[in-house]
């Protein structure tokens, strides 16, 4: 049986056995901003929130996140809570307020200037600033207090997201050993040689080993993590079970490749022709084939590399002059950091140079749309494009690749995909490229543009089946099921109650349903 929203609802109901689900993610799924004299609702760019929102809509519960919008306070209650999605509420968003200094030290500082470059092997030197580290600890404590408040008075499963919260699992377990704590690390985990330069490596690992379950996208990152633990902290590592033991506690370390909700595409592509018509007119695209890139403007995404590759393609294959456009949607991201701010300008400069060298009076090969675009425009472009290019230099998964595939209900279109993404392990029918190799990337673009329709269909059929089977509901279902099995004092599932008695500790109810509900699936 395939995974659907309904099946996840069922798994969450039976496995959670009445325990509250609390997701913690720095980025909130709904941001309120002041705009045009009123308040505007914004959906942030970035795979994490897009992937988790449908899961929370299915399961219900609380999402604890940073209230980052300038109209966030006035749209929440005194405790920072509001029901979301605002037009059809299914779960609670609990906003945590940070001072500008906390946002600076924790988010821009330790999370995005230390851990982000440390985990992505793209040759950016991480900063190691003790002041950032102190604020990162402080903010992890602040979130721990909010989570503990939300979890008060009953069993709860805490599902922590990403590198913003390496210390949170340890803090939660210390305060409430009965909580089930799982964390998903959405970015790669580097090899031990890379990680050990971090002056606070031991403390970060201590925090993460507070988890009952720790997930990465791929086995390779799990292996790197276990190696890192082995060399850094005292522990017992079991390579058969993929677990780390410390004292009487165990942390299992397993791969869960994240994905998308394939049904979203159908929602967003309604009326796509009209939208595309407007976009084509606005950007002078005529009816030429498009290759689209959709990214946050981030130095891990290989955007300059792909613009250069367009230049190289036009040198090598002048037959493409005047025949296609690269439409690069680039949502500005983390722009308080010079590395990110400068990248917007760098991409624009490169695009201008390629356009100057190869463009004509009425044709510009590269169209850089340097703003936040809504999902309706993005999906319309996916649906219309001849191809999509994902040239990340290093990426845990990359959900743009999977979104593109789900948008192609016509079975057409080619995907040019960096071999350094987690997605490349699953989407082996993409044109796989090394984005550091400009000639190889240009050859990949050529192959994608020139691919015969029947080969496109063959490849797209297999990729669509892969994403449809391994969708976001499977990811969440597997994680929740695994988390529910892992609590140390779980009783074996001997008795199968029809309904979880309210007094039964969470994990007994959860474990008891293991065999009946989804026992064969995991
Ligand atoms: C990556 C990270 C996420 C993050 C997203 C957007 O996917 O793994 O944790 O939410 O980028 O970045 P931002 O800093 O805007 O949240």
Quick: pLDDT tens for 462-506: 999 999 999 999 999 999 999 988 654 444 343 333 333 222 222
Q: Which residues pair with 439 in a beta bridge?
A: none
- What spacing in Å lies between the alpha carbon of 342 and ligand 1's midpoint? 19
pLDDT for residue 16: 87
User: How many domains are there within the chain?
Assistant: 2
Q: Tell whether 367 and 233 lie within a shared domain.
A: no
* Nearest one of 425, 443, 447 to 434, comparing CA atoms: 443
Quick: pLDDT tens for 8-42: 999 999 988 889 999 999 999 999 999 999 999 99
Quick: pLDDT tens for 247-293: 889 999 999 999 999 999 999 989 999 999 999 999 999 999 999 99
Contact indicator for 41, 86 with CB cutoff of 8 Å: yes
Task: Please tell me if the CB atom of residue 48 comes closer than 6 angstroms to any atom of ligand 1.
Answer: yes
Task: Please tell me if the CB atom of residue 408 comes closer than 6 angstroms to any atom of ligand 1.
Answer: no
- State which of 469, 484, 501 marks the end of a domain: 469
Assigned domain for 522 exists? no
Q: Tell whether 444 and 499 lie within a shared domain.
A: no
Atom of ligand 1 nearest to the CA of 25: 9
Structure tokens at 289: 């084939």
Task: Please tell me if the CB atom of residue 47 comes closer than 6 angstroms to any atom of ligand 1.
Answer: yes
pLDDT for residue 223: 97
Q: Tell whether 463 and 349 lie within a shared domain.
A: yes
Residue 458's pLDDT band (boundaries 50, 70, 90)? Answer: very high
Task: Please tell me if the CB atom of residue 113 comes closer than 6 angstroms to any atom of ligand 1.
Answer: no
Assigned domain for 302 exists? yes
Assigned domain for 25 exists? yes
Strand order in the sheet with 180-184: 81-84, 91-96, 62-66, 20-27, 156-161, 180-184, 213-216, 249-255, 243-246, 236-238
Three-state secondary structure call for residue 18 = coil
- State which of 434, 451, 469 marks the end of a domain: 469
Task: Please tell me if the CB atom of residue 28 comes closer than 6 angstroms to any atom of ligand 1.
Answer: no
* Separation in Å, CA 225 to CA 118, 193, 216, 419, 427: 13, 11, 9, 21, 24
Q: Tell whether 446 and 494 lie within a shared domain.
A: no
The torsion angle over the Cα atoms of residues 494, 496, 499 and 502, rounded to 10 degrees, is: -10
Q: Which residues pair with 156 in a beta bridge?
A: 20
- What spacing in Å lies between the alpha carbon of 1 and ligand 1's midpoint? 32
Q: Tell whether 489 and 419 lie within a shared domain.
A: no
Task: Please tell me if the CB atom of residue 187 comes closer than 6 angstroms to any atom of ligand 1.
Answer: yes
In terms of DSSP bridges, do strands 91-96 and 81-84 run parallel, antiparallel, or are they unpaired? Answer: antiparallel
Owner of token pair 């059809």: 88
Q: Tell whether 199 and 299 lie within a shared domain.
A: no
Domain that holds residue 212: 5-259+473-517
φ/ψ of residue 394, rounded to 5: -165, 135
Q: Tell whether 28 and 173 lie within a shared domain.
A: yes
User: Is 517 a residue whose pLDDT tops 60?
Assistant: no
Distance CA 488, CA 481 (A): 15
Q: Tell whether 209 and 106 lie within a shared domain.
A: yes
φ/ψ of residue 487, rounded to 5: -70, 135
Q: Tell whether 116 and 149 lie within a shared domain.
A: yes
The enclosing domain of 342 has a CATH number of: 3.40.50.2000
pLDDT for residue 486: 67
- What spacing in Å lies between the alpha carbon of 138 and ligand 1's midpoint? 20
* Nearest one of 123, 265, 131 to 194, comparing CA atoms: 123
């Amino acid at each position: 049986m395939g995974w659907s929203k309904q099946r996840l609802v069922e798994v969450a109901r039976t496995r959670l056995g009445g325990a509250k689900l609390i997701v913690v993610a720095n980025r909130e799924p709904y941001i309120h901003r002041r705009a045009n004299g009123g308040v505007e609702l914004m959906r942030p760019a970035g795979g994490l929130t897009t992937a988790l929102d449908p899961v929370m809509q299915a399961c219900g519960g609380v999402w604890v996140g940073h209230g980052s919008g300038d109209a966030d306070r006035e749209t929440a209650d005194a405790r920072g809570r509001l029901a979301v999605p605002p037009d059809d509420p299914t779960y609670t968003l609990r906003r945590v307020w940070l001072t500008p200094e906390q946002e600076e030290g924790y988010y821009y500082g330790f999370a995005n200037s230390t851990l982000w470059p440390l985990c992505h092997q793209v040759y950016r030197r991480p900063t190691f600033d003790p002041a950032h580290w102190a604020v990162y600890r402080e903010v992890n404590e602040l979130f721990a207090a909010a989570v503990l408040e939300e979890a008060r008075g009953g069993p709860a499963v805490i599902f922590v997201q990403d590198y913003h919260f390496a210390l949170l699992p340890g803090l939660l377990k210390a305060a409430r050993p009965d909580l089930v704590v799982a964390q998903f690390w959405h970015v790669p985990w580097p090899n031990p040689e890379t990680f050990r330069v971090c002056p606070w490596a031991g403390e970060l690992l201590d925090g993460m080993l507070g988890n009952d379950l720790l997930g990465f996208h791929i086995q390779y990152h799990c292996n790197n993590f276990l190696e890192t633990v082995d060399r850094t902290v005292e522990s017992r590592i079991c390579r058969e079970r993929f677990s780390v033991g410390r004292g009487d506690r165990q942390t299992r370390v397993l791969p869960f490749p994240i994905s998308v909700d394939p049904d979203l595409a159908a929602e967003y592509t309604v009326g796509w022709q009209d939208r595309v018509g407007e976009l084509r007119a606005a950007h002078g695209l005529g009816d030429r084939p498009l290759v689209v890139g959709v990214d946050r403007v981030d130095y891990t995404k290989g955007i300059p590399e792909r613009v250069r590759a367009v230049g190289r393609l036009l040198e090598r294959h002048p037959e493409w002059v005047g025949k296609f456009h690269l439409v690069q949607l680039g949502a500005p991201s983390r722009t308080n950091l010079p590395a990110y701010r400068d990248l917007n300008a760098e991409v624009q400069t490169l695009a201008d140079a390629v356009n100057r060298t190869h463009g004509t009076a009425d044709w510009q090969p590269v169209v850089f749309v340097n703003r936040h675009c809504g999902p309706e425009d993005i999906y319309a472009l996916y649906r219309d494009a001849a191809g999509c290019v994902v040239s990340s230099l290093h990426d845990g998964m990359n959900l743009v690749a999977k979104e593109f595939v789900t948008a192609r209900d016509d079975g057409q279109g080619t995907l040019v995909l960096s071999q350094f993404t987690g997605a490349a392990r699953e989407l082996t029918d993409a044109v796989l490229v090394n984005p550091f190799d400009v000639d190889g990337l240009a050859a990949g673009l050529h192959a994608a543009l020139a691919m015969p329709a029947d080969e496109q269909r063959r490849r797209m059929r297999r990729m669509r089946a892969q994403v449809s089977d391994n969708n976001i509901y499977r990811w969440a279902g597997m994680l929740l099921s695994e988390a529910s099995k892992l609590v140390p004092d779980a009783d074996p599932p001997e008795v199968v109650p029809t309904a979880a008695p309210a007094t039964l500790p969470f994990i007994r109810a959860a474990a008891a349903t293991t065999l009946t509900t989804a026992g064969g699936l995991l």
